[in-house]
Amino acid sequence: MVWYERGIQAGCRLKMIIIEKLDIKNFRNIEKFEGEFGDINILIGPNNAGKSNVLDVIDRLSKCENSPGFPCDYCDKIKNTLSKNVVPFGGITFKTPKSDLYRKEDPPTVTCIFNKGLIMYYWIKKNRSEIPKIFSDIQQADKNISSNAGLQQALNGGLLSFINYLKSNKLGDDLSDKFEVYYINRFSNQLSEDELKEHFEKEVKNNLFTMNLVYERSNDFIISSHISILSEIRNSRSIISEIIDNDNVLLCSDLRAKEYNDKTLPQYILEKSHTKDHLERFINFINEIVDPPIRDIRFPGRGSNSTLVLLFNGFEDSIENQGSGTRSLIGLAWDITTMEEGGIIIIDEPELGLHPSAKQELLRLLLKEAKNKQIFIATHDPTFVNPIIWSGEDIHVEVLLYSIYAGSFVTVDLNQSKEDPKTFAGYLPHTTSLKKSHIYVEGASDVYTFQIWLEEYLKKKYKRNWLEMFNEIGIYHLAGDNWVHLLYTLPMEPYKCIVIFDGDKARKARDKPTLEDVCKKYNENKKFENVPKFMPYMDVGEINFNSDHHPIYCLKRKEIECYYDPALLAVCIIDQNKVENVQKDINTIERLKDECDRLFSLRNKESNVYEHQQGNRSLVIDLNLKCAEITDNKEHKTCLKLSETNAGLEITDLDLKKEDKKTCAILVSERTAIPPEIESIFDVFVGVNKERLS
């Protein structure tokens, strides 16, 4: 269960993931949005990609109103059939003008999946009389539980106490399953008509923890389509209003320098209640992020018309006299530091008016706040999205990047950049890079490989100024399979860029586009004109650099590691005696010893047998038999026979897929440190860099 696995961590700390998933269709400029959320959720992309509109939908959910009916005739009939003494059902709705319709024709829909643990907590809290029955169902699953006093006591202690009780008694999954069955049976048994009962047990059950909102054209409403636990009404408040009511959701728009939420900053701050702890947190926040000399804030006395005054070291001044950066952050800081646990913070362009170091401090503060709140951020500043800062935090960060290629937001797999975030090209450091020329490759291991090759190449070709040239070139990776979505983040002039991919990108593969298809789609894009164009090249001699496009080159072999002969490299590193035999022929192997774990992650399977697994590709090396086996995609199997000759170490390549089992020998003595194909690429690329240096 998502709420249970994410919600409870070591030390019994509750992470407040309130909205787990949100789907939006045909709303304003959003044709389609699908996102799964964590503690901090960062929407990043170019202007007019729909980031602010996603935030607006989340904010509107907190302003939903109760509605008498449902578009679904069955749900409406069920609502009228059930006794109001049992439960009053109503729909959930928010007003939406026709201007909110995507292309002004297709009806908008919103589907929101909430944290099950929160929904159950608020429902049980409102229906305490149901606890004995629910607990009885749980007891059937666990005979060791003899009393429900613990559950009732935990409920009285609040949400954290309630979920920690479930964790300590291993009741989370049982309660969720039993609760769902109990809830459906409780109401379906009261329905006399079979068709209504069937609808309740199917459609309503599927939407029990979900809010499905559809457009009602006659009234310009987005309204809940089916009965849900979220639409139960108690004292004129639905469950959804308990979870995310207007006071529990903080929306910080990008219009906050002069006014904040339609009020002057002093008015806004003075009207919001606060405690001494809130005030201390606010001063610390302002002191660390905005201006270190600010040491306190003075509030006007009763009946006074004077404004709020900031106290500096040696002088004081009113808030209105501060710079735009300070003013833009004061209201935001006040809201964040005075907000109680269990809420949602929504910030549009948090980086506005901030110095780069202040952006980092703000991000650190939000990481702390995410331990008991859920945070949504929309930005187009990639330097604000900094995986180096959050890498040491126990926080689940989701980054949703607007993909120009896909035409929608995609979730970037941060695990592919976690290995080495400083060489990840998705958000940084390329947009603020002082390096004039950039090489982009697929994954982190490719970065290490090209760094070694580039250094060897420059030392060989440019002995006097090789280090100066090396420092002019940045090598970054595009997070593996995410490359199709991240290409547009490459900088344009005056930077010089080249993209180098493995050979498999040039060929068709199942469910994956070819390089030519991707380049064509980028080059034909009309919506975003300020993004680079790309040109695929299949021959090094054809590569050229101009202001119209970035060159992308596909290597001849499937993976960059293949240029090292993986079996040979692994054997040389595992068996140190082999290193001496081939040291003169392969200069790079000694340099790659420390990097071998990154490239291959070899593990000892059994005595003298080593195994490497990378996706669908596996490598097994048997030093006793002096052989290796490579398997690709569980279909293509290759055996390599290793034997020593007068010329060095010989590798016999046996392709078992071919009937004739044709063999080919690769002599170590014939290999060089830098493959000729890579050296040719460097000749073209560094030639450009050399001209810039001259």
User: pLDDT digits over 505-553, tens only?
Assistant: 877 766 778 888 889 988 888 777 778 889 999 889 889 888 889 999 9
Q: What would the mean pLDDT of 26-31 be, rounded to a whole number?
A: 90
Which pLDDT does position 183 carry in this prediction?
Answer: 84
Which pLDDT does position 305 carry in this prediction?
Answer: 57
Which pLDDT does position 670 carry in this prediction?
Answer: 38
C-alpha 234, offset from chain centre: 37
159-163, 489-493, 611-615 — most confident range? 489-493
Which pLDDT does position 316 carry in this prediction?
Answer: 79
CA distance 189 to 182: 11
CA distance 550 to 488: 10
179-188, 263-272, 574-583, 598-607 — most confident range? 179-188
We report the CATH number of the domain holding residue 280 as: 3.40.50.300
Which pLDDT does position 372 carry in this prediction?
Answer: 83
**C-alpha pair distances (Å), 289 with each of 89, 108, 255, 285, 498:** 47, 40, 19, 6, 38
Helix, strand, coil share (%) of the chain residues, nearest 5: 40, 25, 35
- The Cβ of residue 421 has, within 10 Å, a number of other Cβ atoms equal to 19
Contact status, residue 535 vs residue 476, Cβ threshold 8 Å: no
- Considering 208, 243, 278, which residue would you say is the last residue of a domain? 243
Q: What would the mean pLDDT of 593-597 be, rounded to a whole number?
A: 47
Same-domain status, 80 and 218:
yes
**pLDDT above 60 (res 318):** yes
- DSSP states along 341-359: TT-EEEEESTTTT--HHHH
Which pLDDT does position 550 carry in this prediction?
Answer: 92
Same-domain status, 108 and 237:
yes
**pLDDT above 90 (res 685):** yes
Q: What would the mean pLDDT of 328-338 be, rounded to a whole number?
A: 77
Contact status, residue 560 vs residue 449, Cβ threshold 8 Å: yes
3 state DSSP class of 287: helix
Which pLDDT does position 645 carry in this prediction?
Answer: 56
**pLDDT above 60 (res 324):** yes
Same-domain status, 129 and 169:
yes
The residue assigned the tokens 């030519």 is 516
Q: Is 346 inside a domain boundary?
A: yes
Q: What are phi and psi of 537, to 5 degrees?
A: -125, 135
Neighbouring C-alpha atoms within 13 Å toward the C-beta of 394: 13
Contact status, residue 489 vs residue 425, Cβ threshold 8 Å: yes
3 state DSSP class of 195: helix
The residue assigned the tokens 């072999």 is 557
Same-domain status, 238 and 266:
no
Least confident segment among 83-87, 141-145, 688-692: 141-145
**pLDDT above 70 (res 297):** yes
Which pLDDT does position 683 carry in this prediction?
Answer: 93
> Which residues constitute the domain of residue 443?
421-559+678-693
Q: Is 11 inside a domain boundary?
A: no
Q: What is the mean pLDDT of the chain?
A: 75
Higher pLDDT, 598 or 613: 613
Higher pLDDT, 290 or 242: 242
- Considering 411, 439, 470, which residue would you say is the last residue of a domain? 411
- The Cβ of residue 556 has, within 10 Å, a number of other Cβ atoms equal to 13
Q: What would the mean pLDDT of 33-60 be, rounded to a whole number?
A: 91
User: Number of structural domains, the chain?
Assistant: 4
Same-domain status, 345 and 226:
no
Assigned token pair, 226:
């089916």
Q: What would the mean pLDDT of 620-629 be, rounded to a whole number?
A: 66
Q: What would the mean pLDDT of 151-157 be, rounded to a whole number?
A: 70
Local confidence band at 113 (pLDDT 50, 70, 90 cut-offs): very high
Q: Is 1 inside a domain boundary?
A: no
* pTM score: 0.76
Residues near 501 by beta carbon (within 8 Å), at least 6 away in sequence:
441, 442, 483, 515, 552, 553, 554, 555
